[in-house]
Structure 1
Amino acid sequence: MDVALQGSLLDLTDEMTLCDLAPGLRRTVIGMGAWVEVRPGWLAAGDDLFAALLHDVPWHAERRKMYDSIVDVPRLTKFYGAGERLPHPMLGAARDALSAHYRAELGEPFATAGLCLYRDGRDSVAWHGDRIGRSKDLDTIIAILSLGSARTLTLRPRDGGSIPGSSQKSLRFPLAHGDLVVMGGSCQRTWDHAIPKTTEPVGPRISVQFRVAGVR
């Protein structure tokens, strides 16, 4: 695979580790029962994890019908269902830490891991909500660990219009190497999110989305 990470520019420590979660979390209530939390630098020294996932995950190129054509999905993916062995022990440790932290609010542990590889700025994910399964009707929490080059997660109200209490149409959450972003409450039902394309010279990024069973 012809993508590479400028590792020395990202990590400032030598030992890969998950930092304390709670002290660095910042929650933003975005309206309509939804909230977003960001924990910058949750995973320290994640270059080795990025490299392992890049080379060891059996990345899959999807094609989907759009109008009258079959088009390539602009990213590579791999989904690990409940009970499947994850491709790296650090992902299991991250899932366990998230389950422990959010158990009281979520009511159950995180069970699955969906991985996406954005090879460069041309790769993206269009506006959508994770509304397949129980999340179509019920609140849930989805946690995303971002690895590699920085990209921006954008959110906008699902029904269009401005953000409640604001004239803005969307929110932007820049995500860097090792950052964690968590979307909770009604976020999947009342908001859409996206990773837009960019013309900036960005390198590859891997996102790891932790969800409960029965939610995609």
Structure 2
Amino acid sequence: MVVWERPEPPRRPAPAQLSRERIVRAAIRLADADGLEAVSLRKVAAALKAGPMRLYGYIATKDELLDLMIDAVYAEIRPAGDGWRAVLRSLAETTRQAVHEHEWLADLIGGRPQLGPHALARGEAVVSALGGVGVDLVMPVVAAVDAYVIGTVRREIAERRAERATGMDTKQWQHAFGPYLERTFATGRFPALATVVRDAAHLDADETFRTGLDCLLDGIEARISR
């Protein structure tokens, strides 16, 4: 029986009342503060001022705890809008926002399919909005949007972590490597790259995300319209 179907132990008088929800929320707070390496059943129990063995009545393994944490964050991803394009845009934007608020999710999202109740509700909202799309296209379309978002947020989180590790933000990094690129482009070996770097608009992360998403949605609309 999967964790979402397994009953919780009966409540009993104790110094620290437990529930799956309290355990998961405590684990998310630890992960938000210090990353996934800060999450273990022992550390979660300590945060709840409970004995570690008590947690095993609610959650059998750390993998179950991670599944529950992911599904709890999926409750924050609420795609909405009129029509499939608006819903897919909302899906992309709210997923990105959730990962930025819970950086550890970048290390877990995009793995095996999430089947918790909040993940299924998210999927139902998106698939319902695609009711006018051929049934064979629904999952490839959703997968394409998910892949775009996952790839983008993983890169963004990697950049954020690199900034913390090196102490250099994007502008400082560009300043440090700018002279090297100028010397390299002066050789004439990379004319296309030189043109883009020198002449193209330098969009910020939000603008880059929205522009790329527009390109993807335009392609999906062209395919659906065939």
TM bucket, shorter chain: under 0.3
Whichever structure has more helix as a proportion of its residues is 2
Whichever structure has more strand as a proportion of its residues is 1
Q: Which has the larger radius of gyration?
A: 2
